[in-house]
Amino acid sequence: MVRPKTEEEIALLRENAIIVSKTLAEVGKTVAPGVTTKELNRVAETFIRDHGAIPSFLGFEGFPAAICASVNDVVVHGFPSDYVLKEGDIVTADIGTLYKGYNGDSAYTFPVGEVSAETRRLLDVTKASLYKGIEAAVAGNRVGDIGYAVQSYVESFGFSIVRELEGHGIGREMHEAPGVPNFGRQGHGPKLVDGMTICIEPMVNAGGRSVYLDRNGWSVHTSDRSNSAHYELTVVIRRGKAEQLSTFDFIEKDPKIIF
């Protein structure tokens, strides 16, 4: 049984979501050829702590950093490192916060300099599929309606949905019920109820959908080494139209950020 959040709880989740959204924009300002992913992590952690929050990923089940920094064929959970970003790469920053007892979680895939037309298409389709999922995230629908909306859109462009990973509920815990897969059947799965708070996060591969787990026990790679994109927003289930708590506006309205 998934308990809908009160409006007071939603207000606290909204505060987290705005911190995460602004942190992603700070990371976006930093992404450029010649920058290490460790530097992206430093920028994010500093910004989060300067705004009174805690980087919730750091130490979570042993994760060693404040953010996940996933480059090119890394789908999710990439470790920030001394890897130097180069022209044509893509890097996903996935960021979580803990503030006033509640969690925030959002992700964005940034191009590094100029990327190929096919990579640009992957980014655009993946992000658009997220909004397709949000359109289906209304009270009375079911989780499968979200997955179907994402999957049908992505596959119409010849890209692949990663099936081993999914979105999730969010609240006092970073990951709560229900799970929110990016594939599914209309009218199936848990019912969406007004006040539920969930993270929708398509993970889309340019090639096949097969993935494997890195020896580090965290990072997930595409089996065929194709690029993978990942976008995530937190929403509240409402009647008629979902309410977005996190936003990409801080990224996409800043002229200094290439997105």
* Per-residue confidence (pLDDT) for residue 249, from 0 to 100: 97
Q: What residues have CB less than 8 Å from 148, skipping those under 6 apart?
A: 136, 183, 184, 185, 186
Of the pLDDT bands very low, low, confident and very high (cuts 50, 70, 90), residue 258 is confident
pLDDT of residue 176 exceeding 90: yes
CA–CA distance, 57 with 142 (Å, rounded to integer): 29
* Per-residue confidence (pLDDT) for residue 208, from 0 to 100: 98
Check: CB of residue 10 under 8 Å from CB of residue 235.
no
Residue spans per domain, the chain? 7-252
Q: If DSSP codes are grouped into helix, strand and coil, which group holds residue 60?
A: helix
pLDDT of residue 130 exceeding 80: yes
- The answer to whether the Cα torsion of 40, 45, 48, 53 is positive or negative is positive
Q: What is the pLDDT of residues 185-241, one digit of tens each?
A: 999 999 999 999 999 999 999 999 999 999 999 999 999 999 999 999 999 999 999
Q: Which tokens belong to 122?
A: 């992957």
| Mean pLDDT for the stretch of residues 14-18 | 98
Check: CB of residue 160 under 8 Å from CB of residue 208.
yes
Q: Interhelix angle for 117-136 vs 143-155, to 10°?
A: 160
Check: CB of residue 40 under 8 Å from CB of residue 83.
no
CA–CA distance, 3 with 99 (Å, rounded to integer): 20
* Nearest C-alpha neighbor of 65 from the set 101, 90, 36, 88: 36
* Per-residue confidence (pLDDT) for residue 256, from 0 to 100: 86
* Per-residue confidence (pLDDT) for residue 246, from 0 to 100: 98
Q: Which tokens belong to 5?
A: 């959040």
Tell me if the domain spanning 7-252 has CATH number 3.90.230.10.
yes
Alpha helices by DSSP H, listed for the chain, are 7-30, 37-50, 117-136, 143-155, 249-252
Q: What is the pLDDT of residues 131-161, one digit of tens each?
A: 999 999 999 999 999 999 999 999 999 999 9
pLDDT of residue 1 exceeding 80: no
CA–CA distance, 40 with 30 (Å, rounded to integer): 7
* Per-residue confidence (pLDDT) for residue 233, from 0 to 100: 98
* Per-residue confidence (pLDDT) for residue 2, from 0 to 100: 86
CA–CA distance, 169 with 159 (Å, rounded to integer): 26
* Nearest C-alpha neighbor of 74 from the set 104, 109, 43: 109
- For the chain, how far is it from start to end, CA to CA, in angstroms? 38
Q: What is the pLDDT of residues 74-125, one digit of tens each?
A: 999 999 999 999 999 999 999 999 999 999 999 999 999 999 999 999 999 9
Name the β-bridge partners of 169.
Answer: 176, 198
